[in-house]
Amino acid sequence: MSKIAFIGLGNMGLPMALNLTKANHDVVGFDLADASCKEAEKLGIKIASSAEVAVKTADVIITMLPKGEHVLSVYQSIKSSLPANALLIDCSTIDVASAKKAHSLAAEDNHHSVDAPVSGGTGGAQKGTLTFMCGGTEKAFALAEPVLKAMGKKIVHCGENGAGQAAKICNNMILGISMIAVSEAFALGEKLGLSHQALFDVASTSSGQCWALTTNCPVPGPVPTSPANNDYNPGFAAGLMLKDLLLAQAAAKQVDATTPLGASAAELYERFTNDGNGEKDFSSIIKMLRGHADE
């Protein structure tokens, strides 16, 4: 059992913290939003009055926050309150540069640290079936793995500091591009008079097969559990897909990588979310690609 401070009890953080308590860890939470703290408290999580108070007696500090700037500001604010040899695990999806800065802040005081962004969404967070992509030393990963196992089913050590974030944005760049490809194919098939089911039956067992098609199919029918069957309620929101595509573009610029399809995918999702679709599942981009986003 570990003493865990969990900072950021939002859509992802709260169910993750609950799974830690179910695994008998001693969890104290904190969130800037009163409503999140109240909701967590109602579900049995102890709440501290600040992040600094939450970490004072914790062996492990987990953050699940929106962006790099939030993670760095929390790391700065808790720095002088951390017990010796703490383990800091950041599960937020943030830019690689901020992730590396967070590791440096932890290392200044000889703490262990892991960047551990997730895939699996809120459903995976609730069921405890997230995939964690981890960056950090062998020692830090070995310390983090048993804690992460209470919240996920696959824990991958991707490499040194920042490698978890790198894996996450590369994976999601594939996902954003492949969702656009699948959507374009369905939109073209419709105009060619092809039924959704016929295209699905062929592509799902041929070389067009991919997760965007077989699990998150952007048209209703062929995959009954895909968000397309539920008015495109997420799932994985288009706004979050845009966030990850922009992180991938920022990283590509920094290391001078050529990602023309990643850049186009970011532009398309930017246009789509600017039109007010950021809260819908990212597969609903098919509406814009058909030329009728407001249907």
**Choice between 157 and 243, CB closer to ligand NAD:** 243
By CB under 6 A, residue 87 contacts ligand NAD: no
CB of 70 to ligand NAD, least distance (A): 4
Indicate if 168 belongs to the active site. Answer: yes
Beta bridge partners of 156: 133
In Å, what is the CA distance from 37 to each residue of 201, 204, 266?
Answer: 47, 44, 34
| Residue with smaller CB distance to ligand NAD, 31 or 59 | 31
Cβ neighbours, 10 Å, residue 3: 16
Tell me if 121 contacts ligand NAD by CB under 6 A. Answer: yes
Residue with smaller CB distance to ligand NAD, 30 or 272 = 30
Q: How many residues line the site for ligand NAD (CB under 6 A)?
A: 27
CB of 30 to ligand NAD, least distance (A): 6
Site string for ligand NAD, 1-20 (x = CB under 6 A): ------xxxxxxx-------
Which residues in the 127-146 window bind ligand NAD by CB under 6 A? none
Residue 243: CB atoms within 10 Å: 21
Q: Is 236 in the site for ligand NAD (CB under 6 A)?
A: yes
CA–CA distances in Å: residue 260 to residues 47, 57, 86, 97, 250: 46, 48, 41, 22, 13
Residue type, 82: L
Exposed, middle or buried, 288 (CB in 10 Å: 0-12/13-18/19+)? buried
Distance CA 139, CA 267 (A): 40
- The reply to whether 223 sits near ligand NAD by the rule CB under 6 A is no
Residue whose CB is less far from ligand NAD, 171 or 264: 171
**Residue 63 burial (CB count, 10 A):** 23
Stretch of residues binding ligand NAD (CB under 6 A), selected from 40-48, 114-122, 147-155, 287-295: 114-122
* Stretch of 18-26, 115-123, 256-264, 283-291 lying at the interface with ligand NAD (CB under 6 A): 115-123
Residue 170 engages ligand NAD in binding (rule: CB under 6 A):
no
C-alpha–C-alpha distance, residues 65 and 261, integer Å: 28
By CB under 6 A, tell whether 61 contacts ligand NAD. no
Q: Are strands 112-115 and 87-90 parallel, antiparallel or unpaired?
A: parallel
The binding track of 93-112 with respect to ligand NAD, each residue x by CB under 6 A or -, is: x-------------------
Rounded to whole angstroms, the Cα distance separating 234 from 251 reads: 26
- The single-letter code of the amino acid at 222 is P
For residue 111, give both structure tokens: 């703490």
Provide the binding-site residues for ligand NAD, judged by CB under 6 A.
Answer: 7-13, 30-33, 36, 51, 64-66, 70, 73-74, 92-93, 118, 121-122, 236, 240, 243
Catalytic residues: 168
